[in-house]
Structures are given as structure tokens and as C-alpha cells.
Amino acid sequence: MITTLMIIVFVLGYMAIALEHPIKVDKAASALLIGGICWALYAFSGVDAHHMNEHLSHHLVDIAEILFFLLGAMTIVELIDAHEGFSIITDKITTNKKVALMWILSLITFFFSAALDNLTTAIVMSALLTKLIKDKEDLWMFAGMVILSANAGGAWSPIGDVTTIMLWIGGQVTANNIITSVFLPSVVCALVPLIYLTFKLKGEITRPVIVESKEHYTDPTTPFERNLIFYMGVSGLLFVPIFKTITHLPPYVGMLLSLGVLWLVTEVLHRSKNHEQKSQLSVIGVMKKVDVPTIFFFLGILLAVAALQTAGQLDIVANYLSDTFNGQSTEGIYIINMIIGLLSSIVDNVPLVAGAMGMYPIAETGFYATDGMFWEFLAYCAGTGGSVLIIGSAAGVAVMGILKIDFIWYVKNISLLALIGYLSGAATYILMQ
């Protein structure tokens, strides 16, 4: 009875998360509620309290590693943004031709996402789009490609998506392997929709009348400061996988180390500035801009999934999928992961991957071993499948909120492109095996 109630709470909570905008309840609130209620219900199931707390503590350590990693990454990106660091790239975009601009922005998004994570990249690119494009229809079309490119770019990098971060931290994949095995499918996933739009888009975009002056970028930072923080920040993010490889410490330690170095540099760099300027450019100041609700959203979701895993429901689902599709065969692996990928367009990919990690323990050899086919293909499918619907990924939800994109418009104009890209990339991965 209790386990059934846990599943009902989980499903209802997910409905609330998916319908965040219509019901006007932030998804973080819904996630924290289902996380807390699921564990409370499990506590009333008659389980030994000591046993339950041991499991909760174990899960909390894993969750904390992910959250500290994200918090560090988000702070570094906000610090770069506060120093107008991204203008180094955006100032060089001068073309008004739709096709050329689409290719430039899509490629920037694809590679930015691999380094900065897809959510952060989507937020940065959304802000950029509003400065470049005036017409709403053009703006939304470009935003759709930003979502596709951000999710595709994040899938092949160990730090590009929350799901790949989870798989990397969890030991299911290694940095080198995820890059070499998923890069080409991700490229195909992004290129196929882009090539189609190359033949469809015509003419030039209309830029907004109000354009920020060059003086904007020299106040309160100098060109030297802007360049220094941009290159140090990006280098710090790229340093994390190297740090983990050398030291074998968890990735969040490398991320916090990078943040600490940047924190020290900015303190020294701005020590002679007045209080108002320092508050805008210091780590303490930019922390106010960090998307804390997203952190709480992931906390709630991961706690809820951990409760279902501890209670045994995920084992039941895993056994059902394995029995139905033969999870020990190559074809079964393909089918299970492609189903997970398509489900991630409806349900956020984070709980799906967390669920898969709970359902399928790491084996010593075979499909489920570290860098096994199951985990490689899961990284691709979960990372890119969410693009099919705008609510299916953190990047999509962020862009939807910032640019007020209509859900139905996205379904009519972008969803089919995203599905074709997703299937093309999946086919590429299968052909590579």
C-alpha cells in the first residue's frame, strides 16, 4: 500500500512539474514536496529506522556531489557574465543573414554547452538572441535551434549536461570515453535539423533598434579584466575532467578548486574598486544571481528517485524492461535507451537517468560495466531526447520561460525536427558499434 502511494505521489508531482507554467507553481517546490513525501511514506512502511537512515545518508553523499558541482559551475559562469566575458564572442557576430546566423549561433551553442553545461548555455544564448533578433517568429525559430544544439552539445561532454555529470560522477562513464563514443552521434543530431533549416530559411533578420554601446563593456570592467576572467573561467571548467583523471578525486573537488582560484583572482583584481563595483564583480555578489531554485529542483528530484530506489520500485521497472526487451542483448539495450530518451521529452531527463542508475548496477564486464554500451547510449538518448518537447529538458524550460515560447508553437515547428535529429544521431551510434 505504502509503495503504491509513493508511486502515486511521484506521478502527481511530475504532472505538477510538467505543468509548472499553467498551474503557476515553481517546479522546485513540487520536486522538494515529492522528495520529502516519498521518504516520509517510506518511513511509515515499517522499515527499520537505522537501515533507512543509512540508505538516506548514502544517497545524500551522491546527491551532494552533483549539487556542489553544479553550484560551482553556475557561479563561475555568472562571474564570467558579470565581467561581460561572453561579449568577446558576441561582439564578433555581425551578419544579418538568417542562414549564416543560424549556423554561427548553433555551433557556438553546441560547443559552449559542452564546456558550460546546456542549461547555462541556453540562458546565455537566450539573452544574446534578444539583442540580435527583433521579429518574434524568427526569435522563436532560432531559440528552438539553440535548445536542440545545447542538448546535443551537452550529451557528449562529461560536464555538458546534468545527466552526463551524474553518469560521470557515478562511475558509469569516463570522460575520454563519453567524448569519443557520443561526439559524432551528437554532431549528427544537431546537424540534421540545421541542414534542413538551411534550405528553408530565407532573407535577413531584423535587429532591435536599441543596441548597447561599446562603452557598456568598459564599465565597470576593463578589456583586460573581461578577457582574463573569461579565459580563466572557461579554462577552470575544462580543467575539472583533467583534475579528476590525475587525482581520482570526485569532480566537484576540481570544480570548487577552480572556483576558489577565480575567487582569489577577482578579490585581488578588484580590491581598489569602490564598494558598489566590487559587489557587482565579486563572487559574493554574483552568487545572488545563481539559479538556486534549479539546485533545489535537482535536490528534490534526486531525493524522490532515491526513495523509490530504496523501496525497490526501480528494481521492478528494471526487471520489466529487461524481461520485455531482453536487456542483456544489443537490440534490447538500443530499445530501452531510445524509450528512455523519448520519455525524457515528457519527464525531465534527470530523474530518468537517476532511475536508470538505480535500476542497473555497474557490472564488472558487459553492457552495464563502466563505459559499457548501455551507459554510452543512455548519455546520448537522455541528453538529446528531451529536445522533442520544450518541457523535456532544463535548457528547453529555461528558454521557454525567458522568451515566452508557446508550447504548441514549439510542437508544430520544432518537435519533428528534434525527433528526426534524435533518431539520426541514434542511428549513427548504432552504426558505429
Residue pLDDT tens, the chain, 433 long? 788 899 899 889 878 877 777 888 888 899 899 999 999 999 998 888 898 999 899 889 888 988 888 888 888 888 988 888 877 877 788 888 999 999 999 999 999 888 877 877 887 788 788 878 888 889 999 999 999 999 999 999 988 888 888 898 888 999 899 999 999 999 999 999 999 999 988 888 888 775 454 444 445 678 898 899 989 988 888 888 888 878 988 888 998 999 999 999 999 998 888 888 888 888 988 888 888 888 888 898 889 888 888 888 877 777 787 788 887 888 989 999 999 888 888 766 777 788 788 778 888 888 889 999 999 999 999 999 989 988 778 788 778 777 878 878 998 999 999 999 999 999 999 999 8
Q: Using CA atoms, how far apart are residues 264 and 224, in angstroms rounded to an integer?
A: 17
Instruction: Identify the bridge partners of residue 204 per DSSP, sorted by sequence position.
Output: 97
Alpha-carbon distance values, 289 to 78, 378, 399 (Å): 7, 32, 17
- C-alpha distances in angstroms, 187 versus 102, 151, 421? 15, 11, 9
Single-letter amino acid, residue 155? A
Q: How far is CA 122 from CA 7, 97, 297, in A?
A: 32, 22, 18
Residue 213 has a pLDDT of: 47
**What's residue 210's pLDDT?**
52
**CB-count burial class (<10 Å; 0-12, 13-18, 19+) for 94:** exposed
How far apart are alpha carbons 386 and 340 in whole angstroms? 10
pLDDT value at position 377? 94
- CB distance 18 to 391 below 8 Å: yes
Comparing C-alpha atoms, which of 110, 104, 133 is closest to residue 122?
110
Alpha carbon dihedral 418, 302, 233, 223, in 10-degree steps, equals: 70
What pLDDT score does 216 carry?
Answer: 46
What DSSP letter does each residue of 287-307 carry, written as one string?
Answer: GGGS-HHHHHHHHHHHHHHHH
Q: How far is CA 368 from CA 56, 175, 344, 383, 427, in A?
A: 24, 17, 20, 18, 20
Q: Does the bond joining 220 to the residue before it have cis omega, within 30 degrees of 0?
A: yes
What is the CA angle 231-268-234, rounded to 5? Answer: 15
What's the rounded Cα separation, in Å, for the pair 398 and 27? Answer: 12
| pLDDT value of position 258 | 94
- For residue 153, give its domain range: 2-432
Domains held by the chain: number: 1
86 in Cβ contact with 105 (< 8 Å): no
pLDDT at 348: 66
> Can you give the pLDDT at residue 374?
92
Cβ atoms of 187 and 427 within 8 Å: the answer is no
Nearest to 311 by CA among 110, 119, 44, 25: 44
